Structures are given as C-alpha cells and as structure tokens.
Copies of this chain bind each other. A is one copy, B any other.
C-alpha cells in the first residue's frame, strides 16, 4: 500500500535524522534538511506540518520496532531461566545488545538515530519528557526483570543503578571521539563491539555492589 509520496516522506526523515543527530534540533534548518534530501523546501511542511513534528516523527519512527526487539530478547532470557531468577548480566545484555548491534551493523541511519537519542537523553528540555514517552513502558518491564534477578534489593538502588546504566550506554551512542583522544588511539568510539563485551559485566557488578552496600547497613 505504498502511496505516491512515501518515498519523499522517507527522504526527508532520513536527511532530518542525519542532520539533527549532528547538531540537534535548533542547529539545523528545514532548508538544510530538504536540500540534503533533494526535495523542495515546502514539502517538509506539507508532510510534517512543522519542524518540531518532523523531529518527533524521526524519533518515533524507529522506537517501536526497537522496543519490540528488546522485549523479545528479554523474553528469551526469561524463558530460559524458567522458574529461576534470570541472570542479571543476560538481562542487561538483552537491554543493550539490540541497540549496540543496530548501531554497529544497521548502517549509517541507525548510527544517526542513536546519536540523536544521545543528545535528547542529556537535554534538560527534552530528555525527561521524550525518553519517558518513547521508552518507559519497555524500561519498566526491564526493571521488573532486574528486580527478579536481584531479590531483596531496595527499589531506590535499582532505579539509581538504572540511571547509571542509561548514562553509560547513551554516551556510547554519541561517538564523540573522546575516548580516542584520551587513550591516544588505543580505544575507538566507533568500536561498539568492545562496549558490547564490557558494558553488561561492568553494570551488573555495579548493581550488585549497590545491593551489597544496602545489605550491610545496620
């Protein structure tokens, strides 16, 4: 049922994704977007109504399928665990791997998308509202699984640990080249495979440390 203007619509979204990812919402003009897309300027407003609507549509476009894939990964981990608590590291991997995998192997559009998420996530203006809107149902599902993996851990510790996980994961997507500079080239921002190997054990150990820290209280 592909309509006539669907290709144009997609070209505009693709160009918007790339440019918003690089310079954020205000750093890009509608004219730049349509120029990169190779279509007339007026078409951006024809299809999306406003620049802000276009921005939202770009963020929303990949969120749904992404969340489905992550939910499926979590369900696989839980099914294998059966009646036992799921393994914490595997839960975290189900949360992060579908993202890292698409950024690494999904082509440049996915890289742009995640770089855009990295900016939105750390924006006081949009981070709270947009990330909540697009990702909270899934995140709540994961937090429930983490609670089963770490019984007797106070909720507060779980939420703060999730916050640290979110920050570490999302900075990765920005691929700013900072770690390249800092390590004099030993590590590369673009090497998401390295993150995939290290992030789950790193974060799982952090979660367990907060649990222990709490159990030691008088």
Q: How many copies of this protein are present in the complex? A: 2
CB pair B159–A187 under 8 Å, yes or no, is yes
Residue A14 CB within 8 A of the other chain: no
In the assembled complex, A103 has its CB within 8 A of some CB on chain B: no
User: Which chain B residues lie closer than 8 Å to A176 at the CB level?
Assistant: 121-124, 126-128, 131
Interface string of A101-135 (1 = CB under 8 A from B): 00000000000000100110111111110011000
Contact A194 B122 (CB under 8 A): no
A: interface residue count bin: 35 or more
**Do A124 and B22 contact each other (CB < 8 Å), given the known contacts A160-B194, A161-B202, A172-B167?**
yes
User: Which residues of B are found within 8 Å of A194, using beta-carbon distances?
Assistant: 156, 160
Measured in the bound complex, the distance between the Cα atoms of B128 and A180 in whole Å is: 9
B-side contacts of A24, CB under 8 Å:
24, 26-27, 123
Which chain B residues lie closer than 8 Å to A121 at the CB level? 122, 171, 174, 176
Instruction: Identify which of B25, B161, B170, B202 contacts A210 (C-beta below 8 A).
Output: B202
Q: Which of A122, A125, A140 has the most CB of B within 10 A?
A: A122
A152-187 vs B, CB cutoff 8 Å, 1 = contact: the mask equals 000111011111111111111011111111110011
Q: Tell me the bound Cα distance from A169 to B213 in angstroms.
A: 19
B163 touches A128 (CB 8 A): no
A23 within 8 A of B: yes
CB–CB B210/A208 < 8 A: no
For residue A208, which residue of chain B has the nearest CB?
A: B205
Binding site for B on A (CB under 8 A): 21-27, 115, 118-119, 121-128, 131-132, 136, 139-140, 143, 155-157, 159-172, 174-183, 186-187, 189, 194-195, 198-199, 201-210, 213
